[in-house]
Amino acid sequence: MTATIIDGRALGAKVREEVAASVAAHGHVGLATVLVGDDPASHIYINLKQKAAHEAGMEARDLKLPADTSEEELLATIAELNADDGVDGLLVQLPLPDHIDENRVIEAIAPAKDVDGIHPVNAGRLYLGRPTLVPGTPLGIMRMLDEYEIPLEGARAVVIGRSAIVGKPMAHLLLQRNATVTVCHSRTRDLARHTLDADVLVAAVGRAHLVSPDMVKAGATVIDVGMNRNEESGKLLGDVDPAAMDHAAYMTPVPGGVGPMTIAMVLQNAVTAARLRESDAIASRRN
């Protein structure tokens, strides 16, 4: 068996087209991004998000603050953007410089504008199974699974990794769709025992080729979130050995799989945030 490739580039482009159509229909969608400091990878991510937002027809505001910005200054900037009616979605690029308390900053973002879905209110709503803004990476993975019509009801799903931005929200989204979910992490004993049972396997670890082909069940759907830069070759490697394609029924490549979906889904979240804010405004005018 050779796996069908789940094409994240093509699907990401399709989602961005849908977002552009929604922005045009809505009239105005504003996204503000905040970057503190000079981390080169963060600059690349922010520039990609800005470019994609502009291409989708959004009003994209690009705030780049110096590395020595104090926590109070950053919190004041967030408060201004929270109060700004032209801003529907707001994201602060992580990681932040060491002198800034990341949790304080995340909690300062208005939950209704939190397009990264990382505010505790949004994480809590996801935990409770209520509709909310969900982090882009797991949301994009759900879109991929749906697009390729991967059955989830009753399926055994294994998520490797329990970060707040990928592993945990992923597990909750799969649970909402009635999969039977196992979450594995660095202390999991005999990882292969779990992965070999998975109809749907999501690897979000950050270790190149941690999942070897013999850890993948025949016919499984494999989603590889890992982005590991090989120092020598400069190549981007996933958490799953690509030779697992021989066992799997569906598999995401690296690059060109999960990566291109994440930004597209953050943009989609900005549209969702704009719609929710508008319907809240209409409801409050009626009351």
Complex with ligand NAP: residue 132 or 262, whichever CB lies closer: 262
C-beta neighbour count of 227 within 10 angstroms:
17
In order, the DSSP letters of 37-75 are S--HHHHHHHHHHHHHHHHTT-EEEEEEE-TT--HHHHH
Interface residue with ligand NAP, options 29, 34, 36, 160 (CB under 6 A): 160
**Cα(248)–Cα(42) distance, rounded to whole angstroms?**
33
- In angstroms, the CA 127 to CA 121 distance is 10
Contact in structure between 77 and 36 (CB atoms under 8 Å)? no
Q: Which is nearer to ligand NAP, 82 or 163 (CB)?
A: 163
Catalytic: 93? Answer: yes
C-beta nearest to ligand NAP: residue:
163
Q: How far is CA 13 from CA 63, 97, 254, 262, in A?
A: 26, 32, 17, 11
Q: Catalytic one among 7, 88, 93, 217?
A: 93
Q: Does 259 bind ligand NAP (CB under 6 A)?
A: yes
**Whether 125 contacts 151, CB under 8 Å:** no
In the complex, the smallest distance separating the C-beta of residue 168 from ligand NAP, rounded to whole angstroms, is 9
**From 44-52, 122-130, 160-168, 172-180, span contacting ligand NAP (CB under 6 A):** 160-168
Question: Could you say which residues in the range 65-124 bind ligand NAP, by CB under 6 A?
Answer: none
Residue 197 falls in the annotated catalytic set: no
Which residues make up the interface to ligand NAP (CB under 6 A)? 137, 160-163, 165-167, 184-188, 191, 204-207, 210, 225-228, 258-259, 262
